[in-house]
Every structure is written in C-alpha cells, then in structure tokens.
Amino acid sequence: MRMGVDTGGTFTDFVMLRDGELSIAKRLSTPSNPAAALLAEVALHDAVDIIVHGTTVATNALLERRGAVTALITTKGFADVLAIGRGDRPSLYDLHQSRQDPLVPSALRLEVDERTTFDHQVIVPLTDASVHALIPTLEAHGVQAIAICLLHSYANPAHEDRIATLLAAHNPQWHISVSHRIITEAREYERTVTAVVNAYVAPVMQRYLGTLARALPTHTRLRIMASDGGSMGVGGATALPARTTLSGPAGGIVGAFRVAQAVGHPHCITFDMGGTSTDVALCDGALPRSSGSAVGGLPVRMASLDIHTVGAGGGSLAAIDNAGALRVGPQSAGAVPGPACYGTGSQATVTDANLVLGRLRSDAFLGGSMHLDEIRATAALQTVSTAALVGVVEAALGIMRVVNAAMARAVRTISVERGHNPKDFALVAFGGAGPLHAAHLADELGMDRVIIPRFPGVLSALGMATAAVTRSATRPVLGVLSALHVETVRALLRETTHELADALRNDGEDPEQFSHDVLLGVRYKGQVYDLDVPLCQNATCDATDLDAVAERFHALHLRRYGHVMRERLIEVTLLSHRVANDSIPIPTPKIEVRTKDLHPSAWVMSYPNDTATPVSTALYARAELYCGDVISGPAILTQLDATTVIPSRWRALVTSTLDIVMTRNA
C-alpha cells in the first residue's frame, strides 16, 4: 500500500493505492504539529508500506522566519553578498519597496582569508587558524546551523571541505551546509542564498522528519516530495531540505499533468486553489522544469517545477480597506480559526462567499461529514456588505470577482507574459476550491476547456503517491559551444553519474532502474541568463549531440523571446544531469454502464453565474456519475473532496477515466 499525503494550510489530504484500487481521505490540518493529522490517518490502516509526503515545514520556516540561528562563512571581502543581492526591482514602479533582511544577520556573516580562482588555482591558501578563530563568535551567538560558501568553490572545493571538517570536529551538533555539495554552479549570490536556505531550515526539517519517522510503524518507508516533481528518502530530505521548498505544489502539477494526458490534453495550465494560496503552472506538452525557484523572495537554485503562487485561496480574508476598496487576501483564515462557516472564525472569506451564493452546500461539504454554518457565514459577509453599501449577495459576488481577477493575473504571468495564449490550453482545476472557480476563471481568460480530475481536492496527494524518485546534479562548463569537446562532456557525465548513483543508493534505490536526462545551460555571448537545452538521454553523448545543441538553442530562443542572433557566439555555462525512475500508474476505474436515465438528486436556488439573479440549479453527486454522462449548466457536483460549479453557459462530459471535461456552449 502506498499513501500520498499533502499537508496544506487548511486540510491534509490522503490518497491510498492498494492492489489497483484508489481511496481518499481528508482531515483538518494541525498547524501546531503537522504530523498529527498524518499519524491519525495512518493509524486507521492495517499496513502502509510507503508514504510519500508533501510537507510545508521548510517553506513555512522560510516565510515565517522561524528557522535555525544560522551563520555564513565566506571568502574575505564577500560577507555582504546576501545583503547586496541582485540589482533587480521586484516591483518596478513601487517607490517605497524594501527588501527583507537576510536570513543571516551581519554579525554572523563571517569571513576567512582564502582565495581560489574560477580555473582551480589557489591564490591565498586557507589556514586552520583562520577557521578556529571563528569558533568563539559562533558559540557566543548560539549558532545552530552554518552555511559555508567560498568564492569559486564550485571549481575548487578543497577549502570548503576543510572548513566543514574542522567545524564538525569541534561541534558535531552543528548543521553544516557546504555550498558545492548543494549546488555546483557559478553565480555567487544564488549559490550563497541556496546554501544559507539549506542550513536555515535543516534543523527544523530534521526534527520534524525524525519525530515523524520514529512515530510511524517500523515497516513503513517514508519518502518526501521534492520541488522538482519527484520524491526522495528521509536521508536526502534531511541533507538537502532546500529541495522541499515547493514540495506540496509540485505534487499537484505532476498529478494534474498526468490527468490532462489521460484525457488527451497535454497542453494545459494547472490551477491549484487551496485554502491559503493558488498555484499555477503551464505545461506545454511536458512538465515545466526550472533550474531554480523563489520562496519568500529568496532564490533557491535547485531543480524545481516552474510554479507561480498568489495569496488567493478559500480561506483568503475579505475586507473593505481604508480607501473603500474591496480586498481579498493574501491574509488567510487558515485552518485555525478557519472561515466563519467552519464555526470558529468570524471574518469573511472566499469560502463564506461561496456558501452564501449557494455554490457550496452546507449539508454536502466533505461528503456531508462536516456541516457549514450559513448563518455565521452570512453574518461575516454582512460586515463587508455594510462597509461597501451593497447587499450580502452583491458583496459575495464582489469577493468572487476580486479573487478570480487575482488568479487570472497569475495565469497571465505564466502564459501571456511568456508568449502563450491561454485559449490554446486546457485549464486543469483542482485543490479544494479549484473546481468552484474554474469555469469563471476560464471565462475571465477566454479559455474554452476545463478539466476537473476525478478527485480534484486531493490531486496533489495523488501526484505524490504516484511520483517517480528523482535526483539532479550539475557541473559548471563556462566556455564557447563550438570549442566544447565531446570528451569533456563525457568526463563531466561520469562525475555526475557517479554522484547520482551514490545518492540513490543512500536512499535505498537501485541506480540501474533510473533513466537519465542531460541539459546544457546555453546563452548568446553577452547575455547574463541562459536557457536549458536538451543534450541527450540515458547519459550517452556523441559529437552529433553537441552539433545539434546550437539549432535547438536557436529554436528555443526564438520561441521564448521572438528572435535569434545567429551571428553571435554561443556560450555553455552549465551541465545539468537528472535521473528518474518510472512513476506509479494511476489506477484505472472500472467502467460501469448507466442503466437508467441521469437525473439530478435535487434542484436548488443558487447563484452559479456572475449575476445577482438566483437560478434553479441541478445538484448531482459526483460518485453517481458514469462514463459518457453529459450535464449542462447550471449545475453543482458534490463529492468528498471538492465541489464543482457548472455555470449556465457550460456543459460537462464524464470521460472513461471518470474525469470531467467542461466546455463552453457556443
């Protein structure tokens, strides 16, 4: 039995796979102890062999600045790299913007007198005395974790290794993150930040995973979801917790893309709306891979999926600001106290607005296991409507428009701003709130097709349960493509293959069961950033592979930026090597034939459209739908993990996989 577990801000989702059968469960999250909900569900099952867990422990530690007391040791003259950062402006026209303070305060950004060059040469040797001289400062500040990042250590790591050895010998309790063991690349700022992030969250992650692993049955194997859409063992997650900063959202994209493939629409935009945030990604026939991500404004230079997040979810708080404008999010009611309709909160949220509009059914939430308080939700909305001088229904519709606009902007960021027309893609809606908003969001974006997975509310957990095991390694190249020799590439591949095989064995995996993908970071001479260009698969390269890289790069550059510069020299900056085994197939549901006509279970008055006029709306239980069923809006589909709204102008078709494809009527 495999179990996928996605710990969210409001709910913890579970998917169980056993002997080709799939079952699901949901529990309210336990923010004070995220493992509690997981362990409570595991206790209900006889034997769970493998758990793949998407965790927000590292992400929350970064966002809330609750990580370990961390020091940075770097080359003399470079202690302020973290503070200087890059010269970009996250908000171009904001005259009052300010950056967050670095994770490491100036008193703990320490220097050693050493220097190496980009081509391995040692200019200033490192002395043991210079390292020992730092120890009193580390001890005086109660340091728990140390990041070591020296200039050009990606080319010559000897000094970093020596510092780590001396510090570990002095105090084995220190969590030491050595930059070249995490990211073997140039770009001093990104490499330093990544090493610091890894050190900052390592003690928190180690405590959490250690406690969780000890509490699980001895026969249960725990794996952790990584930001790149694969999973890793507890050892890998403890050593490289920076790989987990997008742990939860990555599982959702994997699951959504596999569902889109199954229904014949691999070109899709994934839309994951949960309790506290919305994550979107564009899959142009493949998972959107990236060489790094940003969490809380911090660049984490590790393989990840390309995900864009906004603070818009079912628990997003709605209020009228001092200027009289309606604001929704990014603050959230979370799991505690939760939306007003959950019975303990008092502020209006998106969930409360959906309930007041009749899109959520108070007697059908979580399959009827949780009753929603309509009176309390209406009272919360009344506060907003009174301040806005409108009725409660108009206030609820206003909340819908504001939150949908925020999510539409997020989709345009990953599509229109990168040269893609959203209309050319299908919208895969999931998360507890995604199917509620999917059709209205598609209308906002001009999209004609929406896919609602069979179990949309737990799709991230499904993606985790079926995810492949992955690992990545990089090597700097730094040269002109035309001068790059095949033997040089093969030598680098031998290094990365050996490194990856050791990492997989440490996680209990057989390296022989893994496939290989190799990419080159390529740019025109004079450019700062590069594009990832496929080189080869299964770690075999020849001269033909290198000859084809230039044309692949030109084609990719044309598609991304609309032009090519064939007269320019092409530079190679990086070799990226990724390995993955086969993912677990999603069980195929049994196809049953409908023997009687399809009829709604009830008719209710609700507001499924973007107007303040109530309409008679058909209710259906999703579990009672069969392959081939067609439902025309207005309609509402209820199930344990989500509610789907079909507005008047939309129709839904149930596929052979029991997913739903919604299309807009002409």
* Residue 520 β-bridge partners: 533, 575
pTM of the model: 0.90
Q: How many domains does the chain have?
A: 3
**Residue 256: inside a domain:** no
Q: In terms of domains, do 82 and 188 share one?
A: yes
Same domain, 560 and 480: yes
Supply the pLDDT for residue 539.
62
**Sign of torsion, CA 590 591 594 595?**
negative
The reported pLDDT for the residue numbered 541 is 64
Is 172 part of any domain?
yes
What per-residue string of b and e applies to 179-202 under the rule 16 or more CB within 10 Å gives b? bbbbbbbbbbbbbbbbbbbbbbbb
Residue 365 lies in a domain: no
E-strand ranges in 253-352 read 267-273, 278-284, 289-290, 293-295, 298-300, 304-305, 308-310, 316-320, 326-332
Per-residue pLDDT at 10 exceeds 80 = no
Q: What is the pLDDT of residue 19?
A: 87
Whether the predicted pLDDT of 15 surpasses 90: yes
Same domain, 560 and 623: no
pLDDT at 544: 62
Position 632, amino acid: S
Give the pLDDT of residue 542: 62
Helix, strand, coil share of the chain (percent; to 5) = 35, 25, 40
**Among 206, 241, 263, residue at a domain's last position:** 206
Contacts of 251 (CB under 8 A, 6+ apart): 4, 6, 54, 225, 229, 460, 461, 462, 463, 464, 467
The percentage of residues in the chain with a pLDDT greater than 70, rounded to a whole number, is 99
d(CA 573, CA 590): 50
Rounded to 5°, the CA angle 428-432-438 comes to: 40
Report which of 335, 340, 294 is spatially closest to residue 319, judged by C-alpha positions. Answer: 340
Long-range (24+ apart) CB contacts under 8 A made by 173-178 are: 174/138, 174/143, 174/144, 174/145, 174/146, 175/68, 175/144, 175/145, 175/146, 175/199, 175/202, 175/203, 175/206, 176/145, 176/146, 176/148, 177/145, 177/146, 177/147, 177/148, 177/202, 178/148
pLDDT score recorded for residue 182: 94
Pair 299, 193: CB distance under 8 Å: yes
Alpha-carbon distance values, 125 to 117, 162, 481, 538 (Å): 12, 11, 33, 40
Tell which of 184, 206, 228 closes a domain: 206
Residue 459 or 587, more confident: 459
What domain range is 648 assigned to?
Answer: 602-664
Contact 262, 246 (CB under 8 A): no
Structural domain contains residue 178: yes
In a shared domain, residues 515 and 625:
no
Residue 385 has pLDDT above 80, yes or no: yes
In this predicted structure, the answer to whether residue 540 has a pLDDT above a threshold of 70 is no
Q: Same domain, yes or no, for 574 and 606?
A: no
Mean pLDDT value across residues 30-37 = 86
Residue 23 has pLDDT above 80, yes or no: yes
Could you tell me which residues come within 8 angstroms of residue 218 by beta carbon, excluding any fewer than 6 positions away? none
CB 36 within 8 A of CB 169: no
Same domain, 196 and 152: yes
Long-range contacts of residues 319-328, Cβ cutoff 8 Å, at least 24 apart: 319/347, 319/348, 319/384, 319/387, 320/384, 320/387, 320/388, 324/388, 326/384, 326/388, 326/395, 326/398, 326/399, 326/402, 327/402, 328/399, 328/402, 328/403, 328/406
428 belongs to a structural domain: no
Answer yes or no: is pLDDT of 556 > 80. yes
Same domain, 607 and 575: no
Q: Name the residue with higher pLDDT: 94 or 287.
A: 287
76 and 183 assigned to the same domain: yes
In a domain? residue 55? no
* Long-range contacts from 368-374, C-beta under 8 angstroms, 24+ separation: 369/640, 370/342, 372/341, 372/342, 373/340, 373/341, 373/342, 373/343, 374/341
* Mean pLDDT of the region 581-593: 87
For residue 122, what are the CA distances in angstroms to 116, 151, 182, 192, 310? 4, 11, 22, 20, 46
444 vs 589, residue with greater confidence: 444
Distance between the two ends of the chain, CA-based, in angstroms?
Answer: 45
DSSP conformation letters of 467-521? PPBEEEEEEEEEEEGGG--HHHHHHHHHHHHHHHHHHHHHTT--GGG-EEEEEEE
617 and 562 part of one domain: no
- The per-residue pLDDT for 543 is 58
pLDDT at position 38 = 93
Q: With a cut of 90, say whether residue 332 has pLDDT above it.
A: no
Q: DSSP code of 7?
A: E
- Same domain? 632 vs 543: no
Q: What is the model's pLDDT at position 33? A: 86
Q: Average model confidence (pLDDT) for the chain?
A: 92
d(CA 76, CA 185): 20
Domain boundary among 164, 186, 206: 206
pLDDT of residue 391: 95
CA 100, CA 95: separation in Å to the nearest integer?
Answer: 16
What is the tens place of the pLDDT at every residue in 468-478? 999 999 999 98
Choice among 265-269, 327-331, 397-401, 412-416 with the minimum mean pLDDT: 327-331
Average pLDDT, stretch 35-61?
91
For residue 213, is it within any domain? no
CATH value at residue 146: 3.40.1360
78 and 180 fall within a common domain = yes
Q: Are residues 105 and 195 in the same domain?
A: yes
Distance between CA atoms of residues 512 and 589, nearest Å: 32
Closest by CA to 650, choosing from 433, 451, 364, is 451
Give mean pLDDT, residues 56-64.
Answer: 86
When pLDDT is averaged across residues 85-105 and rounded to a whole number, the result is 82
pLDDT value of residue 592: 85
- Residue 79 within any structural domain of the chain: yes
Model confidence over 185-227: pLDDT tens digits?
A: 888 999 999 999 999 999 999 999 999 999 999 899 999 999 9
Whether omega for the bond prior to residue 456 falls within 30 degrees of 0, making it cis, is no
